[in-house]
Structure 1
Amino acid sequence: MRIKSLAFLASTILLTSCSGTISTAKKEYQITKTAALKSDWIFDSREWQFTDHTLIGVGGPMHWGIIESKKKLPKNFEINFKVNLVKESLFEIMLNLEQEKYIRTYLYTIEKSIIIGKGVYHKDSDAYGKRGGPSLLKKPMQLENNKWYAVKIRVENNQLYFAVDNETFLEYSLEKNNLRQQGKLGFITNGEAHLTDLVIKSL
């Protein structure tokens, strides 16, 4: 009886400790219906919606369309999805967003590159310097509008791996470069972006 009680207590502690994260070691997180989007994410319905198994974001050069998860990413995680930059130049994955700071991982058609950078995000301001931030590492890639790209992001033991189409990739140490090691997930577009097959899992 004592063993059963201890096992129950341990499982309760485990569930409680994981409840603040997007996924747990036993579960992958996916957006499968609009209800999940509304319950798990913070967004303006004029900017982001989920339809026909596709997450669609709309923004503009002066006001980026942003969606932010309500829960934190796990300490070690992997994110996979496909994205199409339908209009304009920027699609950004916000990693470890906390206290208005985050890690920028993004596809940028103007520079024809994938990039890792430091970011800031002030919810109530579109002013220059209140969103985005400096680039830290980049690699050239022939990015185009109206084309689907497979994105993989992995953070394990404070090492960030960011790949597009399993061909172009960047690796960066969070700890050595003083980047955020925990926080929420978000997506940004300055035009129109479509996402499908989003899967977030603990490692």
Structure 2
Amino acid sequence: MDLITHEQRQALRKQVRKCRQQLSINDQQQAAIDLCQQLIQQPSIINAQTISVYLANDGEISLEPFIQWCWQQNKKVYLPVIHPFSSGHLLFLHYQQTTTLVANKYNILEPKLAVTNVLPFNQLDVLIAPLVAFDAQGNRLGMGGGFYDRTLSSWHNQKILSEQVHLSPIGVAHDCQLLTAIPSQHWDIPLPQIITATKHYSW
């Protein structure tokens, strides 16, 4: 990666993470409720049976109200888990009210690994991805680990080849995480839609 671009991306991460970390508890809670209302109106969500979510960390917009809605609608909810053997990759484990959670190396809670609870990625209907920042072209800036870019690469390649794609990826963020432009790299996977508490962007 070009040194200047790396520094730019790191500066953007720091800037936006600070913005979302400074949101009050009330603002965070209201944003989570408003985001849930946005999500449950999406056709891809309404029709989905298997949905990957995340547990908010570092000021990320919370999906807790949405997760509760999914459980009430008898939709199967999954959480990403860092793959124990394939570096930089994710597994998706079934997440229920009774699921035992453990902290991973980033101190993010994830389900305790059990092979019987793993869902193959190609069987997910919707993948909701967190992000640090995004721009009006659908470019997503993550934390820098590349987990979601690697996960979505097969979906992206199918889309480029105009093949039928089953998965609907959705990025979610606070409104303050929108930037004018994000310096992207060739491995960055743009998202087809990003939803905030007040807006829905699609490309």
- TM-score class normalised by the smaller sequence: under 0.3
Question: What is the TM-score with the length of structure 1 in the denominator?
Answer: 0.28
Question: What is the TM-score with the length of structure 2 in the denominator?
Answer: 0.28
Structure number with the higher helix fraction is 2
Structure number with the higher strand fraction is 1
User: Radius of gyration: which is bigger?
Assistant: 1
